[in-house]
Every structure is written in structure tokens, then in C-alpha cells.
Amino acid sequence: QSSVTLFGIVDTAFGYVDNANAAGDSVYGLSTSGNATSRLGFRGVEDLGGGLKAGFWLEGEIFGDDGNSKGFNFQRRSTVSLAGGFGEVRLGRDLTPGFSKFISYDLFGQVGIGQFMGWSNWYGTSGDANGIRSSNMISYYTPNFSGFTAGLGYGFDEQTSGKAGRYVGGYVAYENGPLGVVVSYDQRNLAADVDRNALTVAGSYNLNVVKLNAIVQQTKDDVPGASDRKVNAYALGASAPIGAGEVKAQYALYDQKAIDSKAHQISLGYVHNLSKRTALYGTVAYLKNKDASNLGLAARNLSTGGPGAGENQTGVQLGIRHSF
Amino acid sequence: QSSVTLFGIVDTAFGYVDNANAAGDSVYGLSTSGNATSRLGFRGVEDLGGGLKAGFWLEGEIFGDDGNSKGFNFQRRSTVSLAGGFGEVRLGRDLTPGFSKFISYDLFGQVGIGQFMGWSNWYGTSGDANGIRSSNMISYYTPNFSGFTAGLGYGFDEQTSGKAGRYVGGYVAYENGPLGVVVSYDQRNLAADVDRNALTVAGSYNLNVVKLNAIVQQTKDDVPGASDRKVNAYALGASAPIGAGEVKAQYALYDQKAIDSKAHQISLGYVHNLSKRTALYGTVAYLKNKDASNLGLAARNLSTGGPGAGENQTGVQLGIRHSF
Amino acid sequence: QSSVTLFGIVDTAFGYVDNANAAGDSVYGLSTSGNATSRLGFRGVEDLGGGLKAGFWLEGEIFGDDGNSKGFNFQRRSTVSLAGGFGEVRLGRDLTPGFSKFISYDLFGQVGIGQFMGWSNWYGTSGDANGIRSSNMISYYTPNFSGFTAGLGYGFDEQTSGKAGRYVGGYVAYENGPLGVVVSYDQRNLAADVDRNALTVAGSYNLNVVKLNAIVQQTKDDVPGASDRKVNAYALGASAPIGAGEVKAQYALYDQKAIDSKAHQISLGYVHNLSKRTALYGTVAYLKNKDASNLGLAARNLSTGGPGAGENQTGVQLGIRHSF
């Protein structure tokens, strides 16, 4: 009698990362979300007539390795929305409009050790400063006009003074046939008077045998009375179907201007589909930090840090993804 | 194969409150549960034969603006029950029997900035001292006898000494045709030897075009060696259907005897039903504090406080409620 | 359209325990999971063809008395698995393979005041040191070979140095007709260099009118530079069907070698089935501590401690269990 769709993914992987800290120790165990983010959600759409639809979406992350030891919530997405010929308006916590498009332009889908790490909490920031999601957001998505789409979001700061936490951003995309191009601009007010601005451009072209993807992103923190903190990040990838599977290779560069240091990342992955819903996968990633750069690979729920300034790190994930 | 009903509401609203603190700052953003409390629940009933039924009900609050940043739980209701010709017995955490009846006697359903605020944590108390719910409760509800119903609840303190946290209360109601009347008495042992007693009477009469509602409530804290802390609270409202919607207006008075100060609240609301399950709504509320009174409007998950002693506060909520 | 089974149990009981602390105070109120652990879960199986199946299982505990005041999670079980003719491989957090078998060899199913308390956090340990579950575990279960089954589990420590938290263990069982026998060996690395080893043997024999159960368990902590901390625990029980119900009686002995003290426990229970899904039950347990022993009965979510060294404790639970 209910109109709810219950859905989710459990993706758990054996993971290994060498140089997982500055002492050079390695770590291995179970990590989560190596190929797709583990999740549990409830969503539904109601037809209101006249082309109008109401919908809700509640989705939280699953940590299959420890059973969500920090508790379950709906911080992946919790929205109520109205959609029609005019597009869709959503209220609540959600992906920022731009990020929601870019996920498919990263060959590793913004998860696991192979992922492009441009959306990170650069320079000691935390939480939504990474630009991936916003709470207290009103967002608008246009209909699809022959491949053109756009989205806009405004996340309220809810402060009595100042505007720490405020988000505003949007994207424009053209996706038609083999070609896809997205441009987004996002701004978030970090604590105090620090603004973070991110300009991201991504494109993909499907040559049938091989699909090529690229991301170019500049993240810039405006810090009053100090020089800007800038990160220029780049990704270039290629994927190809092989039987029931897919191979993929991606190169990423993180040019951390504020510390005048670069990091290079090479990621190789193979996904073997057992069915539409279930896949086995393996990923290898190598991260080469230069000068003061101390980035680390992102193996979810496997506690790893940077390998130390200028040190390298290699990681492996072998896992299973099951959707329901 | 399962006998579970999955149900819920997502209700999210733009909210604005002026004088949201003593400095006179205003605040705006997304608030939740402006027209009905956002929730996610699982419930079911099993027919045991012979008129006997077993049931369970697990229900937790949803905070659509931030995705339940403090985690999800089942603190709205988590009961197992047996029902039959004798009525219903429930074990667990639930609304106090009286409060469960009074919700419909407040035109604003005990949610949002327009709500009657008699059930509050007066005098610096917190948690279930507001009289809305009790944990560790055994409750009993009679069948409906020609409109007469009654309910009783006893919430164990589970203390090895003292009785802090103990709840006992009940209600009697007559609801038949256009008329409804409820009387309840509730007692909760606050920390130490402080008792809170609340006597509440409410009535409603449906004149077809207009429905009238009223609540009269006295909350009294017995504090050993000090004078009683008393709050007399009153609400008087009228609602009327207008096409697919409903308009409503309510006046409330909070006479805080312990500080010899009053506060007046005027609430106006309009609910526009897009379907049985979905509505748009708007509420405006004005709160006039006198003397030492420093009450604030209740915009859920929009951080607002009292406007300062004797200061006024105005609030607006514009939202969408979607049930599933 | 979804392939998910939503399932659970709500089991809530009135509970009373005398000598609930060293001062001799008693406590009573609502406790949870007196007959079966209250839970809410989501699980599913996908047929991949060729005898291969993928599955997931997410299950969290329900505290019906307070609505999960500490939040809801999936720490009872959160696994993704592959199963086929070779058996089943699971990744994630789960019961240790041995414990998963022993539950049915304790007449009280490892819940409530009547339960065998061998799997406890002896000697001031906490969390998974009790040997019941492990996070970060890869486990393997054989198919059933004419009654023979076996299971193995390895829980990663995920440490950069040391192996605190690592689990390894397994069981072999023969269960056929009236006879059941299980042997398990489990090892967990507690903090620092302390190892906990547990050897458990259990058996049951169904004489039709009466079923007999027994458990023998030795838990030993190897503490470097100190003497071993040993607990020898024994249970012996008998159950019999009576009409729609079942009576059961169990005796347990906890010989705490490190403090050279024993405790005796006698548990009597009656379960009355109202249907396959719903039952009423009553349990009485008496615990006799000798010398320095200070064990207490386990009434979930009713705050009780040990009665003091050498003191006795009696408990009662009267509850309802409802499955869905």
C-alpha cells in the first residue's frame, strides 16, 4: 500500500595501502565503497496530475565493514521535491548540483583509491568544505533541452551574523550522443571570512571501443590578509569494455599552489559484472607526492593518512559491489 | 512476504525569524516539520485470532534540512502491543496518552512556529520533562465507547534510589460528531524531588464552515523548599476549509507565574493540499513577550532563541509536506 | 520492484532485579530482548545463475524501551556475500562463526537474564572482546555435508603496528536428527599483547519429550609478564514443549580462576506462543556469587550491576516478543 522504493548498495573490499603513515607502515583490512558508495535509501514519487510530481529521497551511507559504528543517518541525501515541465525544485541536504554531474566524469566515480581527489578538504578544512554536498539547500534543475541541462543550488548559512557555511553554485552541461561537457562554479563560505571558489570543467567522448574522460578544476580559498590558497587539479582517463567487464586507467595531477608542490596519481581498475546488480572489482593506485605534498589515497573506513611530505603511496582494493 | 508498512513524512520549509537572539539578529534558512513532523517508520499488525492482535511500531524523526546530522533513531515511538476487545496495551517509548489526544486540538498540530507551546521544557528543564513522550512506559487505551475513550500511562524511573524520570498520567475524552472534549492529568518526577504536574483541558466544536478549538493548561513544578513554578497556558483557534485548502488562526497566552510575566502569540496559517499526501503551506506567527518573559518561536532545526526579556519575535515558514 | 526483505523483532519486557548494586538496591522497569534480541533488518539474495548467489544483510538492534536513544546502526550484521556449491563467503561485520552456532545450544538463546554468560567482557574488557562479533571480517561457511558443517572467520586488526583487535576463529559441527555437537576455537588480540583464547564445546540431544543441552567453555587471556586470566564456564539445560509453549531450566557455573571464585546461575523460563510470530514469556534467574565473584544478570537496557562480591542476585522478566 506504500509507494516507497527501498534501495541500496553494499560494496565492501579488501584493501591494502603501503606507506599509510609517515613512519612508512602499511595497513590492510576491509574498506568500504571501493567501486560505489554503500548506501541504504527510501524514495518515492507521487503524480499530482497536470504534469506535476512530488517526491522524496532519504539516503544514508552504509559502512559494511563495521556496521556503521558511528550510527546511521540520511546525510547522503534527504530531500522533498516538486517536479514538472519547469524542471525540479528540491529542498534539503543533497549533492551540490555540479558535483552530481561530475561523478560520471571521474572514471572511478569519486569513490575508492582510484578516484580523482579534487573534491577534498584541502588545507585543513572539514565537512562540506569539500564541495560535495550542502545542507539547508534549495536547488533547481532544468529539464533536458536536446542534451542541455543546468542546475543551481543555494545552501543557507543559517547564521545570525556572518555567512559561514553558505553555499552557492551551479552547472551547465551538454550531453548528447558520444559527447559530454560540464562546467560548474561553486562557492562556499568557510569559517570566518574565508571563501572557497571552485571552477570545474569536464568532458567525455565515447569512441565506442574506448571512452575518454577529462576533468580540470581550480579550487581557490580567498583568505583575508593572506595569499590565496589554490589547488589546480587535473584528471585524464580512458575506459574500455572487455566482455562482461570494463578496464579503466586514469591519471590525475594535484598542483597545490599554496605549498608549491605537486602530486601525481595513476589509477588502474577492472570491474567484472556478475549481473546488472553485482560486480567484482580490483583497483590499483599509485600516488607520487613531490616536495611538500603529503596526499594519501582514499580507502574508505581503512585508516590511512599521508605517507609524509614527498613520499609515495600505493594502494590496492579487491571487492564486491551488490545493489538492491 | 513481510507484513510491514513503511511510512513517513518529509516536511521541509523556508523559515525566517526576526529577533532570533537578544542582539536582535534575524535568521533564515531551511527548517523542518513546519506543518507535520518529518518521520520515517515501520509498523505492522498481526491477527492472532479470537479478536486478539499483536502489533509493533518503530518511528523516528527525519531532519530533511541536514539529513539527520545527529543520527537516526526511533525515539518518536518504539512499541510492541497487544490489542483486543479490552483495548490496547503498549510497551515501550511513546507519546504520553494525553498528549497523543491533544495534538489535534492545537490548530498547528504541535509543530512549527504557529504551534501552542504549552508542552515546553519550562524553567530550564530538558528532554521528556516537556510531557510529550515517555520511555519505559506501559500504557493502556480503552476501546471507543460511543465516543468516550481513555488512556493511562506509567513510565518507570528505573532508578535504584529516588524516582527521577518517573511518569504517570492519563486522559479521558469524548469525541462524537461535531464535539470533542479531552481532559488529562500528567505527572513527571524531574531530577531530585521536583515534581511536574500538568492539568490540561481541550475542546473543539465543528460549525461546518468554521471549527473552533481551545486548550487550557496548568503546568506546576513542586520544588521542595521553594515556591511552586507555575505556567498557565491558553489557546483559542478557528479554522475553515477554503477550496482545496484550509485557513487557520490561533491565539495563545503563556502566563509564567514564577516570573510573573506573560507572553502572547498570534499564529496564522494556510495549507494548500496538492493531493491527499502532499501540501504547500505558509505560517506567520507573532510572539509578544511582556516583562521578564523571553519565549521564542519553535522553527525546528533553525537555530533561534528568545528575543530577550520583554522583546517580540515574528516568524514565517513556507514549506512543503509530503507523506508516503 | 525491489528484492529486499524487511524483517525484525520487537521484544520488550517488564524486568525486576534485586541487589542491582552493592548497596543492595533493587531496580525494575522495562528491559529489552528478554526472549530474542529486538532488531530491524534489510536483506536480500540475488541468483547469479550457475548456482552462484550474491546476498546482503544489514541488521541493527532495536531498543524498544527508549527508542534507541543512542542511535540506530547496523552493528548486528552488515555483510555482502557470495554463495554457491563451495559454501558461502561473507565480508563485513557479523557474528563470529562459532558464536553463530552456539546460540541454539543456550536454552535462553544468549539473551535475557536467563542466558549463559560465558561470552562476556571478562576482566574489564569491552566491545567485541566478548567474542560475539567481529568487524572487518572475512568468513567462510561450508555447505552441509550430511550434517557436518564448519565455519572460519578472520577479522582484520587494521593497525599500522601491533595487532590489537584481530580475530581468528572457527567451528566444526555435526547436527543430524536428535543429536547436535559443536566445537569452536576463537582468538582475539585484546589491547597491547594480550590474547584471548576461547575453546567451546556444546551438545544437545532431543529425547522428544525433553531436549538436553550442554556447553563447556574455557576463556583464557594470555597476559605477558602476568599469569593467565582464565574462566571456565559450564551450562546444562533441559527444555520441554507444553501445549503451545515451552518450559526450560538451565544451570550455569562460572569458575573465574584468576580470582579463584565461582558463581552459580539457575534459570527457569516459560514461553507461550500466541502464534508463530508472537509469544509471551517469563523468566526467573538466580545468581549465587561466591568469594570475590561479583557477576550480575543481563537485563538489557535496565541498568543493573553486580550485587557486590559474594552476594546473590535474583531477576524476573515478563515480556512479549513479536517478529515481523
What is the DSSP-derived secondary structure letter of residue B310?
Answer: T
Sign of the dihedral through C-alpha A23, A29, A33, A35:
positive
Cα radius of gyration rounded to whole Å, chain B: 20
Question: CA of A205, closest CA in chain B: separation in Å?
Answer: 35
Q: Do B40 and A46 touch (CB under 8 A)?
A: no
Q: Do C66 and B138 touch (CB under 8 A)?
A: no
Q: Do B135 and C64 touch (CB under 8 A)?
A: no
Q: What's the mean per-residue pLDDT of chain B?
A: 96
The residue among A191 and A236 whose pLDDT is bigger is A236
| Half-sphere exposure for A60 (CA within 13 Å, toward CB) | 25
**Model confidence at B304, in pLDDT bands (50, 70, 90)?**
confident
* CA–CA dist B49, C277 (Å, integer): 13
SS3 of chain C? CCCCEEEEEEEEEEEEECCCCCCCCCEEEEEECCCCCCEEEEEEEEEEECCEEEEEEEEEECCCCCCCCCCCCCCCEEEEEEEECCEEEEEEEEECHHHHHHHHHCCCCCCCCCCCCCCCCHHHCCHHHHCCEEEEEEEEECCCECCEEEEEEEECCCCCCCCCCCEEEEEEEEEECCEEEEEEEEEEECCCCCEEEEEEEEEEEECCCCEEEEEEEEEEEECCCCCCEEEEEEEEEEEEEECCEEEEEEEEEEEEHHHCEEEEEEEEEEEEECCCCEEEEEEEEEEEECCCCCCCCCCCCCCCCCCCCCCEEEEEEEEEEEEC
Residue keyed to cell 538489557: C300
By Cβ distance, the residue of B12, B26, B278 closest to A91 is: B12
Chunk chain C into consecutive blocks of 10 residues (it has 324) and report each block's average pLDDT, rounded to whole numbers. 84 97 96 98 97 97 98 98 98 97 96 98 94 98 98 97 96 97 97 92 96 98 92 98 96 97 98 97 98 97 93 98 98
Q: Which helix (H) or strand (E) holds B100?
A: helix B97-102
By Cβ distance, the residue of A30, A40, A319 closest to C156 is: A30
Is the pLDDT confidence value at B192 over 80? no
Is the pLDDT confidence value at B110 over 60? yes
pLDDT at A303 (0 to 100)? 84
Q: Determine how many CB atoms are found less than 10 A away from the CB of residue C54.
A: 26
User: B103 and B142 in contact (C-beta within 8 Å)?
Assistant: no
Q: Which chains touch C (3 or more CB pairs under 8 A)?
A: A, B
Q: Do A156 and B12 touch (CB under 8 A)?
A: no
Could you tell me which residues are beta bridge partners of residue A237?
A213, A250
Residue keyed to cell 562540506: A128
Is the pLDDT confidence value at B1 over 50? no
pLDDT at B73 (0 to 100)? 98
Question: CA of A33, closest CA in chain B: separation in Å?
Answer: 20
**If you measure CA to CA, which chain B residue comes closest to A80?**
B10
Q: Do A72 and B72 touch (CB under 8 A)?
A: yes
Q: Determine how many CB atoms are found less than 10 A away from the CB of residue B106.
A: 23
Is the pLDDT confidence value at B191 over 50? yes
pLDDT at A60 (0 to 100)? 98
What is the DSSP-derived secondary structure letter of residue B145?
Answer: B
Contacts across the B-C interface (CB distance below 8 Å): 130
Q: Determine how many CB atoms are found less than 10 A away from the CB of residue A318.
A: 15
**Model confidence at A1, in pLDDT bands (50, 70, 90)?**
very low
* CA–CA dist B28, B270 (Å, integer): 20
Secondary structure tally for chain B: helices H, strands E: 1, 17
User: Tens of pLDDT along B123-182?
Assistant: 999 999 999 999 999 999 999 999 999 999 999 999 999 999 999 999 999 999 999 999
Amino acid at B242: I
- Region at C61 (left for phi over 0; alpha for psi -120 to 50; beta for the rest): beta
Question: CA of B323, closest CA in chain A: separation in Å?
Answer: 9
- By a Cβ cutoff of 8 Å, what residues of chain B touch chain C? 1-4, 6, 42, 44, 46, 48-49, 52, 54-56, 58, 60, 71-80, 82, 91-93, 135-138, 156-161
User: Tens of pLDDT along A145-188?
Assistant: 999 999 999 999 999 999 999 999 999 999 999 999 999 999 99
Joined grid coordinates for residue C205? 540431544
Mean pLDDT of A50-76: 98
Question: CA of B310, closest CA in chain A: separation in Å?
Answer: 20
What domain count does chain B have? 1
Is the pLDDT confidence value at A190 over 50? yes
Is the pLDDT confidence value at A53 over 80? yes
Chain A hits for B5, Cβ within 8 Å:
1-2
Q: Do B65 and A159 touch (CB under 8 A)?
A: no
Mean pLDDT of B236-251: 96
Chain A hits for C80, Cβ within 8 Å:
10-12, 64, 320-322
pLDDT at A304 (0 to 100)? 84
Q: Which helix (H) or strand (E) holds B267?
A: strand B261-273
> Under DSSP, is residue B8 helix (H, G, I), strand (E, B) or coil?
strand
By Cβ distance, the residue of A23, A67, A278 closest to C54 is: A278
* CA–CA dist A275, A153 (Å, integer): 36
Joined grid coordinates for residue C153? 572467520
Question: CA of C84, closest CA in chain A: separation in Å?
Answer: 13
Beta strands A52-61 and A312-323, pairing class: unpaired
Residue C279 CA from chain centroid, whole number: 20
Instruction: Give the closest residue to C138 by CA, choosing from C159, C174, C166, C101.
Output: C166
Q: In degrees rounded to 5, what are phi and psi of residue C198?
A: -130, 130
Amino acid at B158: E
Residue keyed to cell 515480556: C319
**If you measure CA to CA, which chain C residue comes closest to B155?**
C29
What is the DSSP-derived secondary structure letter of residue B158?
Answer: -
Residue keyed to cell 543550488: A153
CATH of the domain at A213: 2.40.160.10
User: A251 and A235 in contact (C-beta within 8 Å)?
Assistant: yes
User: A20 and A26 in contact (C-beta within 8 Å)?
Assistant: yes
User: A311 and A317 in contact (C-beta within 8 Å)?
Assistant: no
Q: Determine how many CB atoms are found less than 10 A away from the CB of residue C16.
A: 21
Beta strands C167-176 and A39-49, pairing class: unpaired
Is the pLDDT confidence value at A323 over 90? yes
Q: What's the mean per-residue pLDDT of chain A?
A: 96
Q: Which of C1, C61, C322, C323 to mutate to test the interface with B (most CBs of B within 10 A)?
A: C322
Chain A hits for C48, Cβ within 8 Å:
274-275, 278
**If you measure CA to CA, which chain A residue comes closest to B5?**
A2
**If you measure CA to CA, which chain B residue comes closest to C20?**
B160
pLDDT at B3 (0 to 100)? 79
Q: Do B158 and C28 touch (CB under 8 A)?
A: yes
Could you tell me which residues are beta bridge partners of residue C30?
C14
Chain B hits for A45, Cβ within 8 Å:
none
Sign of the dihedral through C-alpha B9, B15, B19, B20:
positive
* CA–CA dist A310, C233 (Å, integer): 55
* CA–CA dist A280, A261 (Å, integer): 36
Q: Do A74 and B72 touch (CB under 8 A)?
A: yes
Q: How would you class C209 by CB atoms within 10 Å of its CB: exposed for 0-12, middle for 13-18, buried for 19 or more? A: exposed
Question: CA of B152, closest CA in chain A: separation in Å?
Answer: 32
Amino acid at A219: T
Residue keyed to cell 543493573: C304
SS3 of chain A? CCCCEEEEEEEEEEEEECCCCCCCCCEEEEEECCCCCCEEEEEEEEEEECCEEEEEEEEEECCCCCCCCCCCCCCCEEEEEEEECCEEEEEEEEECHHHHHHHHHCCCCCCCCCCCCCCCCHHHCCHHHHCCEEEEEEEEECCCECCEEEEEEEECCCCCCCCCCCEEEEEEEEEECCEEEEEEEEEEECCCCCEEEEEEEEEEEECCCCEEEEEEEEEEEECCCCCCEEEEEEEEEEEEEECCEEEEEEEEEEEEHHHCEEEEEEEEEEEEECCCCEEEEEEEEEEEECCCCCCCCCCCCCCCCCCCCCCEEEEEEEEEEEEC
Q: Do B72 and C72 touch (CB under 8 A)?
A: yes
Q: Do C30 and B56 touch (CB under 8 A)?
A: no
Chain A hits for B22, Cβ within 8 Å:
none
Mean pLDDT of A77-87: 98
Could you tell me which residues are beta bridge partners of residue B88?
B83, B141
Domain range for C44: 5-323
> Under DSSP, is residue B97 helix (H, G, I), strand (E, B) or coil?
helix
Q: Which helix (H) or strand (E) holds B84?
A: strand B77-84
